[in-house]
């Protein structure tokens, strides 16, 4: 990959000499090469959702990877869905099953794109990500639909203002948990 960009730079310098235009073109090529290598531009890696644990946790594999050893547990950033009873958890909160079912209908078996923030893993070794189905960010959609609460844990703060708007939308329209569940002050904020 780097050799390809070096060839472009040599070509630009040979063709245009060391003029201002050639320096700008070289900087552009170097910037594009850097962005491409860091994943900011270029084709995003796609994943398939294999399993939905609850309203904020899924298992994914890279598209085309059928090896079960490569399944990755992903915790959706910025939200906290009501808890459901499952292995290791005896607590079931209001609207937990509805939240899980809603997320499953959205993403189970579908190709998604993942985006990270500052911290990429939590203490449970789950990958912390924003999940996209096409252009729709599922994390925000879950919040906007009243299927989850807002939860930002520093240093991860990307999209917090958008999440605030989504939360207000769900609350003002009495969607999901904002209709059916009693909320204590801590969860409602």
Give the model confidence (pLDDT) of 12-59 as tens digits.
657 666 665 555 644 565 655 554 444 444 457 899 999 999 999 999
pTM of this prediction exceeds 0.75: no
How high is the pLDDT of residue 106? 97
Render pLDDT for 63-104 as a digit per residue (tens, 0 to 9). Answer: 877 777 789 999 999 999 999 886 676 778 888 999 999 999
How high is the pLDDT of residue 42? 43
Render pLDDT for 4-18 as a digit per residue (tens, 0 to 9). Answer: 556 656 666 576 666
Q: What is the mean pLDDT of residues 115-132?
A: 94
Between 109 and 24, whose confidence is greater? 109
Q: What is the mean pLDDT of residues 110-124?
A: 94
Between 86 and 144, whose confidence is greater? 144
108-124 burial, b if ≥16 CB within 10 A, otherwise e?
A: eeeebbbeebeeeeeee
How high is the pLDDT of residue 36? 47
Q: Provide the residue ranges of all domains of the chain, joining segments of one domain with +.
A: 2-38, 46-188
Q: What is the mean pLDDT of residues 139-151?
A: 96
In Å, what is the CA distance from 100 to each residue of 23, 57, 97, 124, 188? Answer: 53, 9, 5, 20, 19
Q: What is the mean pLDDT of residues 158-178?
A: 95
Three-class HEC string of the chain:
CHHHHHHHHHHHHHHHCCCHHHHHHHHHHHHHHHHHHHCCCCCCCEEEEEEEEECCEEEEEECCCCCHHHCEEEEECEEECCCCCECCECCCCCCHHHHHHHHHHHHCCCEEEEECCCCCECCCCCEEEEEEECCEEHHHHHHHCCCCEEECCCCCCCCHHHHHHHHHHHHHCCCCHHHHCCCCHHHHC
Residue showing tokens 């552009």: 28
Q: Does domain 46-188 have CATH number 2.40.50.90?
A: yes
Q: Which residues contact 98 (CB under 8 A, 6 or more apart)?
A: 147, 176
How high is the pLDDT of residue 67? 75
């Amino acid at each position: 990959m780097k050799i390809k960009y070096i060839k472009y730079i040599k070509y630009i310098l040979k063709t245009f000499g060391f003029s201002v235009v050639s320096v700008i073109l070289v900087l552009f090529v170097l910037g594009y090469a850097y962005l491409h290598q860091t994943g900011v531009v270029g084709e995003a890696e796609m994943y398939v959702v294999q399993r939905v644990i609850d309203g904020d946790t899924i298992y994914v594999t890279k598209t085309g990877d059928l090896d079960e050893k490569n399944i990755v547990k992903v915790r959706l950033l910025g939200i906290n869905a009501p808890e459901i009873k499952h292995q290791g958890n005896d607590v079931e909160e209001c609207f937990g099953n509805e939240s899980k079912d809603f997320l499953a209908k959205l993403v189970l078996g579908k190709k998604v794109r993942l985006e990270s923030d500052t911290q990429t893993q939590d203490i449970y070794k789950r990958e912390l990500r924003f999940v996209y189905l096409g252009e729709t960010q599922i994390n925000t959609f879950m919040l906007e639909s009243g299927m989850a609460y807002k939860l930002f844990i520093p240093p991860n703060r990307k999209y917090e203002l958008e999440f605030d708007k989504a939360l207000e939308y769900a609350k003002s329209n009495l969607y999901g948990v904002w209709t059916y569940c009693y909320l204590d002050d801590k969860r409602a904020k």
